[in-house]
Amino acid sequence: MSDGSRFAFLRNRWFTVSVGGTFLVFVFSFVVGFIWLPSAQDENAFRGVWNAMCGAAGDPRGWLISTEAPVAASHPTSTVVVTPDLLARQSAVLGVGRGATLALKCTMCHGTRGVSSADIPNLAGVDATSIYKQMRDFQGGARASAVMKPLVADLGDQDLRDLSVFYASLPRGSARDLGAAPDIVAVGAPMRNIAPCGSCHGGMDSKLGAPWLDSQPRAYLKAQLEAFHHGTRRNDIGEQMRNVARNMTDAEIDAAADYYAGNR
């Protein structure tokens, strides 16, 4: 076959128009989708696509970096990064013993074995990471409490770690029957973006950094849910609890508090 007959399709006007048109559409879409739109938007999620592509290709991304000063938070935010190895270097044996000594000044509110007789949260058996984060947040002001802040103000980081592993080592009550749980705990409300409480706080699963809720005082649970609902408590990781609680009805807040407090 001669070269002339091999490339005869190039002389077909319809072929060249089709291929040329497709190429122009591709170039136009690339410019609009990956250059113009990312540079015209301020949303980090939208920028992320282009940033990720540039990063993978090794291209500089300085032109996409905002030169504006970051917006300062209007309230203290948590500085604790919860990871599976947050307390990995903690000595369980030494930490529990030292934590038990430090906990002597906590017994008036949290009980001698981490179980309160008042409307104070029970700490026995609660995940150490969760306890540690809350105490750090009390220290830094990310979680407001006129009682807890002065009590933890003078404690060092090792003190907080030892207290956390001590309370986590104490036996906690058995989990409640999930079959008797209200819908908001067992299945949530997917249409309103509410995950089941049991998927993070025990019963179905326990999520890192999420406190164990079984047998907590009802008044405490209700107060915290309402604080997340109204946005007055803001130390939750990634605003997860605020996103859930703000969509909960008053009846659902009462039902969840009743269930975990054992009032059902």
Per-residue pLDDT of 217-253, as tens digits, reads 999 999 999 999 999 999 999 899 999 999 999 999 9
CATH 1.10.760.10 fits 92-169, yes or no: yes
AA identity, residue 83:
T
Nearest CA among 164, 170, 158 for reference residue 112: 170
Q: Are 204 and 198 in contact, with CB atoms under 8 Å apart?
A: yes
Per-residue pLDDT at 1 = 55
pTM for this one?
0.73
Of residues 220 and 73, more confidence is placed in 220
Per-residue pLDDT at 48 = 61
Distance spanning both ends of the chain, measured CA to CA: 87
Contacts of 35 (CB under 8 A, 6+ apart): 50
CA–CA distance, 192 with 244 (Å, rounded to integer):
9
Q: Indicate the domain borders of the chain.
A: 92-169, 183-261
Six-digit token string for 105: 């000044």
CATH 1.10.760.10 fits 183-261, yes or no: yes
Task: Tell me whether domains 92-169 and 183-261 share a fold.
Answer: yes
Per-residue pLDDT at 92 = 67
Per-residue pLDDT of 125-181, as tens digits, reads 999 999 999 999 999 999 999 999 999 999 999 999 999 999 999 998 777 788 889
Contacts of 133 (CB under 8 A, 6+ apart): 78, 80, 82, 209, 235
